[in-house]
Amino acid sequence: MPLSAALSLALLVPGRPAPPPGADPSTRPAAAVGLGPAGPPPTPEDPLRVWVLGDSVMHDGSPALAAALAATGEGEIVADSSFGGWGLTTVPAWAADTEQIITAFHPQVIIGTWSWDDTVAGDDPTAYEALLRQALARWLTPGDGVELVLLVEFPQIGPNTFIAQPLLRARLWATLTAEQRAWDAEAAQAVAAFGPHARYLATDQVFDPDGRFLTWAPDSAGREVRVRQVDNIHLCPFGAAELAQLIVHDLGQAIGLAPSAPGWQDGPWTADLRYQIGVAGPGACPADQPVAGYRGLPVPSSDRRP
């Protein structure tokens, strides 16, 4: 569903003018993040208000993130506009939608990742980084209440299991990985212009440790559990929980958010239909096992990782 349609009940107000594409967001008045160590920390009485945006992979991660934030006792998702196909280049109304969401829900932190801009990011890195900076400047408009934007490295994808021809599958994986790395690098560079108000979070330690893509990974008991759906792109509950843990830990470092209390990983959110019906239909996250000695697959090389 398009974001603008999903926001049909949001409060509408006159929009702020967006910064011009060539504007330098580093001219934004310097200030410490008004949360955590540099300001009043989140509390159960005044929890951190989070807006989640991005494409279907972020949408997969949002139930886990909601549970992990709730388990801190100090955070909650107040707006979730993630959906399949979201990107700055695919949703021209992102700036107007920003106005509506901020006015209606007053988020303090914005968290997002997406892949639908990857081709543009790879074809014209300079122009795409400028677009990212424009978006960051809009999200961090002084006085709108947003104090932190966290751009998350898009979880490394694997080879497309629906392509039967091995050579074609390998070539496509290499191409998509190179484009993905371009977005990652430009996201990491863009946040640097905003001081403590923007951060970039790497995810390779979970999704491709030591340069190897994992469809399955060991849980706390040492059992191999599916991280990714059968398409090797979207997340299963274990992968969503791993992503959420990374994000909550990073928010703890950035603003002093408390860690999540144990047990949230096995909550009712794991039964969400998005983990049962994937792009290929039912059975998106089967309870299968890898072959003995499974170590993942080496990710196609790229020199653009941040």
pLDDT value at residue 281? 80
Nearest CA to 61 out of 111, 127, 131 is that of: 111
296: alpha, beta or left, given left = phi > 0 and alpha = psi -120 to 50?
left
pLDDT of residue 304: 64
Provide the residue ranges of all domains of the chain, joining segments of one domain with +. Answer: 38-298
For position 302, what pLDDT does the model report? 65
Tell me the C-alpha distance between 273 and 285, whole Å. Answer: 11
Model confidence pLDDT, tens digit, residues 75-98: 999 999 999 999 999 999 999 999
Quote the pLDDT of residue 42.
87
Backbone conformation region of residue 251, classed left if phi is above 0, alpha if psi is from -120 to 50, else beta? alpha
Q: Which residues of the chain have pLDDT under 50?
A: 1-32
Residue-level pLDDT at 301: 81
pTM of the model: 0.87
Q: What is the pLDDT of residue 40?
A: 72
Q: pLDDT value at position 192?
A: 96
Main-chain phi, psi angles of 80, to 5 degrees: -135, 105
Task: Give pLDDT, residue 27.
Answer: 35
CATH class of segment(s) 38-298: alpha beta
Q: Are 264 and 71 in contact (CB under 8 A)?
A: yes
- The Cβ-side half-sphere exposure at 40, using a 13 Å CA radius, reads 9
